Amino acid sequence: MVLNTFQVDALTELINIGVGRAAGVLNEMLMAHVSLQVPSIRLITRSNIKQELEGLFGKSASIVRMGFRGPFSGIASLIFPPDSAANLIGLLIGDLNMEADMDAIKIGTLTEVGNIVLNGVMGSLANILMKHVEYSIPIYQDSNVHNFITPYDTTEQPIILLARTRFRIETQLIEGDIILVFEVGSFESLISELNSSLDITQ
Amino acid sequence: MCSETFKVLDNVPMGIFVLQDDLTVMFWNRCIENWTNIPREQIVGTNIGEHYSHLREPRYLSRIKPIFEGGPPTIFSAQLHKHIIPSWGLNKQLRIQHTTVTAMPATEGNGFFALFVIADVSDLTIRIQEYKTLRDQALEEIKMRKEAEMKLKEFNQNLEAIVVQEIEKRRRHEELLIQQSKMAAMGEMIGAIAHQWRTPLTGLGLLFDDIKDAGEYGELDQFYLNRVVEESGQLIGFMSKTIDDFRNFYRTNKEKVRFNAKEAVEETLSLFSAQLKNNNIAVQILCAHNTNDIFCVYGYPNEFKQVILNVVNNSRDAIIERVEKSEFSNGLGQINIEISEQDDRINVSIKDNGGGIKADILNRVFEPYFTTKDAQKGTGIGLYMSKIIIENNMDGKLYAKNIDDGCVFVIELNRCKD
Ligand SMILES: Nc1ncnc2c1ncn2[C@@H]1O[C@H](COP(=O)(O)OP(=O)(O)O)[C@@H](O)[C@H]1O
Ligand SMILES: [Mg+2]
């Protein structure tokens, strides 16, 4: 499946709105100005995802995943490359006591940040489509990229939406990458929902 | 106000409450009642902000609001919001709380309620801390053990290096010794040949004088010439045989063979008898058996002969020294070689009347380079090499002891059983 420029633009726009919302939330929470770049999005096939992700940030990463069901179903994941994760944690625990265990801090912090960003984006998608989507509770996992993608056996050529954005916390000179991955079981339905709600004609 | 549908949540061991989109409390479960000491009857129907004003702040509100529209769950992690509903635990510390807020369809009409589920992770946090301490201890231990291992390894490697060096030193030393003993043997051989040749050389000299005389007196006929040629031929043959014998004598054997120890002693003495005789030393072989066959041993015959020669030469040196110091009471130097067999052993004991070895050096004579002789005469290698040949290469024994008037060197070897 190939997306036409309108569809790419529309998806980019939607994700951008979500990311913007997430940035707002992070601002409030961190009391710092967080800016998130306009994401660049790509559709890739399941078979390419490993290479693609490894190319982006090596073999291991911190991942927050959230499943969703509705007119379109799948799993949304936010991936923090190790450096970015470390930067974020450094910023967030700056004003917390260091007593707690580093791993616990890492898991708690990244789960919440991931939750914020994923909610921003999912909320924006669901909103525009005016459809109710059910969500599972987000979970955190420290993972090898190899184990990342869950095998879907239903679809022959499943498609994955990959969106990459940079965050930057101005005052702290902290920046890093985050990568959004949507494994959408029925990608066509997302696109057709998108088409009808935005009234884009091919 | 409190809907029956929520009642089931009373049994859950987590703090649970439900908010309506205007932040009115719809439900307050037993667990959170316990935590906060706020009874359900008192809080249900009121605005949560009246009790916990921070929940009205944008940083909370902006993330709670979307829930009422059916948005995705929101997480307030224990790390970033430790105490969403501050409450004291049993150990007089604020509970550390991890909160998940999810949307649930409103009981009547449309819209959603926000279901707050709060887990008390204080214990967990403490346990994680304990675990971490344990883990750190374990890691520390592992580190220490690794370091110890490394040190041991290093030490062993050093040790290995030292041993290798030491072995190499030994090897070089041994090579040097062998070289030196070869040189000594060469000197020995030249000396021995000189002695062996003295008689035939004198014989040849006399023959030539005789020829001169015969020429002068006109007796130089064919018959005479034939006799001279034959006699000198014998002498020259003897001389060249001497060289061959010595060459064979000093040739080292590559492989162990069976040989007759008694015959080896005899051959050695016949080669060097002239030298001994010239020094006025009487040599005798004493053996109770007529048959030589029982003295069969397994080893390196030439090396064995060199041992015999070394020991005999030492006796010779001791006797000569004694003569030079004119310490001899009864005049004659004497070397007796006794060959005997006992069970499966063969003994060759070489006795002399050279005055013996001083008690304080008796246990040092087998050390390499130990000598009491001056540089031209002694190297201190002879007995050391002999001991190696007998004990290391031929599985036997070589030792010395003092006797009346002299000393005895004993060689013990295993007898071959046919
Ligand atoms: N039969 C002997 N009588 C007295 N001393 C002896 C006798 N054999 C050996 N020794 C002593 O043992 C020393 C070591 O002998 P050896 O190893 O053959 O070396 P070297 O003959 O070159 O001195 C001699 O220097 C001598 O002092
Ligand atoms: Mg000697």
pTM: 0.48
Lowest mean pLDDT of A17-26, A87-96, A100-109, B179-188, name the range.
A87-96
Residue B122 Cβ < 6 Å to ligand 1: no
Each residue of B191-249: pLDDT tens digit? 778 877 888 888 888 888 888 888 888 888 888 889 888 888 888 888 888 888 777 77
Q: Which of B281, B377, B381, B383 to mutate to test the pocket of ligand 1 (most atoms within 8 A of CB)?
A: B383
Cβ(B276)–Cβ(B335) below 8 Å: yes
**Cβ of residue B117 closer than 8 Å to a chain A Cβ:** no
Lowest mean pLDDT of B100-114, B117-131, B232-246, B386-400, name the range.
B117-131
pLDDT of A181 over the 80 cut:
no
Find, in chain A, the residue whose alpha carbon is nearest to that of B101: A137
Cβ(B181)–Cβ(B379) below 8 Å: yes
Confidence of residue B116 (pLDDT cuts 50, 70, 90): very high
Confidence of residue B329 (pLDDT cuts 50, 70, 90): low
| Strands B333-342 and B281-287, bridge-based pairing | parallel
Closest CA to B350 of B377, B388, B378, B312: B312
**C-alpha B145 – ligand 2 centre gap (Å):** 56
Question: What are the structure tokens assigned to B22, written together?
Answer: 């205007």
Query: According to the CATH classification, is domain A5-198 in 3.30.360.10?
Result: no
Cβ(B55)–Cβ(B48) below 8 Å: yes
User: Cα B11–B17–B23 angle (5° rounding)?
Assistant: 165
ipTM: 0.75
Confidence of residue B353 (pLDDT cuts 50, 70, 90): very high
Residue B371 Cβ < 6 Å to ligand 1: yes
pLDDT of A152 over the 60 cut:
no
Residue spans of alpha helices (H) in chain A: 5-30, 49-57, 82-92, 102-129, 187-198
In chain A, which residues have their Cβ closer than 8 Å to the Cβ of B129? 99-101
Selected residue with higher pLDDT from A38 and B14: B14
In the block, tokens 């090396």 appear at B303
Q: Which of B365, B377, B384, B407 to mutate to test the pocket of ligand 1 (most atoms within 8 A of CB)?
A: B365
A40's enclosing H/E stretch is: strand A40-45
Domains and CATH numbers, chain B: 3-120 (3.30.450.20), 254-418 (3.30.565.10)
What is the spatial distance between Cα B382 and Cα B371, in angstroms, rounded to a whole number? Answer: 9
The pLDDT of residue B123: 67
Task: Tell me, rounded to whole angstroms, the distance of Cα B360 from its chain centroid.
Answer: 35
What is the spatial distance between Cα B263 and Cα A171, in angstroms, rounded to a whole number? Answer: 106
**Cβ of residue A62 closer than 8 Å to a chain B Cβ:** no
What's the gap in Å between the CA of A48 and the closest CA on chain B? 29
Q: Which amino acid is at A198?
A: L
In chain B, which residues have their Cβ closer than 8 Å to the Cβ of A101? 125, 128-129, 132
The pLDDT of residue B207: 87
Contact state of A108 with B58 under an 8 Å Cβ cutoff: no
Q: How far apart are the first and last CA of chain B?
A: 118
The pLDDT of residue A191: 74
Contact state of A115 with B71 under an 8 Å Cβ cutoff: no
Confidence of residue B409 (pLDDT cuts 50, 70, 90): very high
Confidence of residue A94 (pLDDT cuts 50, 70, 90): low
Confidence of residue A153 (pLDDT cuts 50, 70, 90): very low
The pLDDT of residue B52: 93
A9's enclosing H/E stretch is: helix A5-30
